[in-house]
Structure 1
C-alpha cells in the first residue's frame, strides 16, 4: 500500500466510507471491524453510484445469472508490542444466507462506542460468527510502512488443488488486500473504485524481495498508462501515482539487491510539459469555440431582427427582406422544439470539445467499455455482429418485397 509519507496512520484505520461505511470499535491496542463489500462484476448501465442501482444489479445477478456479489469482511487486528504493525484475522462472509447474523453483529458494533462497553464479548462474538459463516479467511500483518502480508487459510469447498483453485485463491487474497487498503488510507489521485494499481504477489522463497520489484513495476506501468491518455485529468493522476512510486522506492527499494532504476525526474518533467501543452491546445480550442459561439448568437440576433423588419413598413412601402432570412425565421417559428434540441446537442458536444465534461464520467460509456473488455476478440465479434445485422435487414426487405 504505497503512501506519500511512507507511513500509515494506525489511528485512522477503520475510519472510511469506501465502498461502504466501516463499522468498528477500538480497544487499547486492538480494533474489530465489519464492512459490507459488493464484489459483483456484472455490468449494468447506471447502477454504479447509488444504493438503488446496487440493489438492481444484485437482483439481476440473483435471478438471471444465479450468483450473488454481496459479502462482508469481519476483521480483528491487534497491534504488536513494537507498535510497528498490526496482526490478526480476516473473514469473508457471504450475505445472501447470513443477513440476520451480520445485522445483529453490526448493531452490536455500532452500539459499542468505548472499550469499557463490552469490547471483549463483542470481539469474541465477531470472531465466532466469522469463523462459522465465512467461505474463506486469512491471517494478515499490516506494517506501518504499507507492507501487508496475507496468509490464506484453506478455502472451503475447493476440493483438489488445480489451476482454477490457485486463481481463485489469488482473487480472494486480492479482495482481502483491497479491504486493507480501503480501511487503512484514503485513496488519492485515482478513482477508489478502480484501485487495482497494486495487487498481491505470491511469496517466492527463492526470491523474498520479488514483491518489491512487482509493486514498483505496477506503479510505473500505471503512470505510463495514464500518461498515454493525453488529457489533463489523466496527467494529474499520473503525477500523483509517480509521487507514490518515488515514496515506495525510498521505503522499500533499498531492500532490493538489483532494483530497477527509472528516470523519475525526466518523467516528471515530461508530465509537466504534457500538461502545459494540453492547456495551450485547450485554450486555443476554447478561443475558437468562443468565437464561433459569438458569431452564432450575432447571426441569430440578426435573423431575429430581420424577422421584425418584415412586419415594418416605411412611408407605406414594405421592406424587401431576403428569402433565406424569411425561410430561417419561418423554420424557427414553426419548429421551436427541434431548434431548441439542436442547440442543446450543439452545446453538449461543445462541452466535450472544451473538456468541461469528461466522457469517462458517463456511466453508459464506462459500462460499454467494460462490456467490450469481456470479449477477447471484441473487435472481430463486433464486426461479425454488425455484418450479420446488415445482411439480415437486407434479406428481410428483399424477401418482404418478393412475397408481399
Structure 2
C-alpha cells in the first residue's frame, strides 16, 4: 500500500510548527515542541466516520457508533543544512470504545501534558524519550496504524497498514469484500483527510469541501501520474463550481485556482528530480481566472437587480395591505352594530382567544430559528445528512409511505377543526 495526497500550502511550503492549531471538525488535543535536534508533534482529534443518517441521534438509540479517535505522532529533523526536512511518523486509528478501554486516552493526555511542560527553548532532551514511549504505547493499543511522510511542499505519502490483531484484520477485509469496498483506498483517504484538517486551515473554500482531492495509488517509486489525477480533480471542481449561480462559489473557485498554481509549481519541481521526461499538460489559468471573475460580476449584477425588484414588490405589497386595512376599518365604522358576524370568523376568534399561546409560540419559534442561524456555526454533518435524505425520496415505497402519512395528518387536522373549532 502506497498512496499519495497533497495538502494545500501557502507559497508552496508548510510550517510544521502550526500543526494542531486548526479547529475543524473538532479542536484537537496536541503538543508541538522541539529540542536541539528534532521537532515533535503529537495530535489527537475525534472524527465521525459513520455514513448513517443523523448518527449522533440514531447511533445511541440503535447501539452503534461511528466515532473514531485519530492520533498523529511524527518528528522532523532540525538542522540549518536540511531546511526541507520531512515530518515522519504514524497515524494511529482507534474506535472510541477501544481508545477508552485500552487507557490510550489517559496515556496520550498525560504524555501531552508532560511534553508541554518542558521548555521548548531550552532544548530539553526529555522530549525524545517521551515521544518514543508515547508512540510505542499507542502502537500496542490502536486498532490500526499507517506510516506517514509529510513533505514541506504538502505532498503526503501513506503506506504500510498495521493491524492490532489478525482477527480484526480478517473481519474487516471480509466485510469490505462483501460490500465491494476498496478498503485500502478508503483508509488512505480518511487518514489523509484527518492529516489535511490537522495541518491546513481552510481559507479559500468551506470546511465541507473535504473530497475535492483524494489520495492516489502510487504505481512505482518514480511514478508521477498521481499528480495529474489530483490536478484534474481540482480543475474539474473549478469548472463545476463556475456553472453555479452563487457568487460565493465563484470566490471559492478563485481560491482553488490560486492553490492550483502553487501545486503545479511544486509538481514541476518534483518532476525535474524524479522523472525529467514527465509530460505536464498546459492550462490557461489567466483566462480561466478572468472568465470566473466575469461570470461572478454578471451574477452579482443580476442578483442586485432581483433584490431591487423584490424590495419594490415588498413595498407595493405593504402599501396594498395598509390601504386595504384602512378602507376596511373606515367602512366597518358605518356598519350596523347589531349585525351578527360570520360564524366562521366568530369561531376562529373564539379559538384564538381560548388558545392565546398559539400565535406567540409561532412567533417565538420563528425568532429562535433566525437567531440560531446568526449565532450558531453551520453544521456540515447535518447538512450532508439532509442532502442524502433527499436521495431516499427517490424510492417509491418511501414516497408512498410519506404520502399516506401526509394524508393522515391532513385528515387529523380537518377532524380537529370540525370537532373543536366549529363547536
Classify the TM-score, shorter chain.
Answer: 0.7 to 0.9
Cα deviation for residue 147 of structure 1 reads 0.9
Cα deviation for residue 370 of structure 1 reads 2.1
Cα deviation for residue 267 of structure 1 reads 1.7
Contact 1:173 1:200 in 2 (8 A): yes
- Matching of residue 15 in structure 1 with residue 21 in structure 2: yes
* 1:91–1:70 CA distance, 2 compared to 1 (3 A): closer
- Structure 2 match to 1:179: 194
Q: Aligned to 1:194, which of 206, 209, 212? A: 209
* 1:101–1:387 CA distance, 2 compared to 1 (3 A): closer
Contact 1:90 1:176 in 2 (8 A): yes
- Matching of residue 88 in structure 1 with residue 97 in structure 2: no
- Matching of residue 103 in structure 1 with residue 106 in structure 2: yes
- Structure 2 match to 1:236: 251
Contact 2:39 2:78 in 1 (8 A): no
Q: How does 1:157-306 map to 2 (within 5 A)?
A: 157-159=168-170, 164=177, 167-205=182-220, 208-253=223-268, 255=271, 257-306=278-327
- Structure 2 match to 1:130: 138
Cα deviation for residue 367 of structure 1 reads 1.9
* 1:174–1:77 CA distance, 2 compared to 1 (3 A): farther
* 1:245–1:65 CA distance, 2 compared to 1 (3 A): farther
Cα separation, 2, equivalents of 1:267 and 1:111:
51
Cα deviation for residue 389 of structure 1 reads 6.1
Cα deviation for residue 181 of structure 1 reads 1.3
Cα deviation for residue 207 of structure 1 reads 6.1
Cα deviation for residue 23 of structure 1 reads 1.3
Cα separation, 1, equivalents of 2:324 and 2:138:
73
Q: Aligned to 1:24, which of 8, 22, 31? A: 31
Q: Aligned to 1:33, which of 15, 31, 42? A: 42
List per-residue Cα deviations over 1:182-201 (Å, max 9, x = no partner).
22221122222431221111
Q: Aligned to 1:368, which of 376, 386, 390? A: 386
- Structure 2 match to 1:77: 75
Contact 1:25 1:119 in 2 (8 A): no
Please say which of residues 110-119 and 13-22 is displaced more in the overlay. 110-119
- Structure 2 match to 1:155: 163
The TM-score normalised by the length of structure 2 is: 0.71
The TM-score normalised by the length of structure 1 is: 0.74
* 1:34–1:63 CA distance, 2 compared to 1 (3 A): farther
Q: Aligned-residue CA RMSD in angstroms?
A: 3.8
Higher relative contact order (CA 8 A, sep 6+): 2
* 1:392–1:301 CA distance, 2 compared to 1 (3 A): closer
Q: Aligned to 1:144, which of 145, 152, 158? A: 152
Cα separation, 1, equivalents of 2:213 and 2:83:
25
Q: Any gaps of 5 or more consecutive residues in structure 1?
A: 46-56, 313-317, 321-325, 350-355, 395-404
Q: Aligned to 1:386, which of 381, 399, 419? A: 399
List per-residue Cα deviations over 1:243-281 (Å, max 9, x = no partner).
111211122145272212223222212211211111111
Cα deviation for residue 290 of structure 1 reads 0.6
SS at match of 2:195: helix
Contact 1:152 1:173 in 2 (8 A): no
Cα separation, 2, equivalents of 1:297 and 1:58:
44
Q: Any gaps of 5 or more consecutive residues in structure 2?
A: 1-6, 408-423
Count, aligned residues: 353
Q: Aligned to 1:64, which of 62, 65, 70? A: 62
Cα separation, 1, equivalents of 2:83 and 2:279:
30
Cα separation, 1, equivalents of 2:130 and 2:383:
45
Cα deviation for residue 80 of structure 1 reads 6.3
* 1:266–1:135 CA distance, 2 compared to 1 (3 A): same
SS at match of 1:96: helix
* 1:42–1:151 CA distance, 2 compared to 1 (3 A): closer
Cα separation, 2, equivalents of 1:192 and 1:392:
36
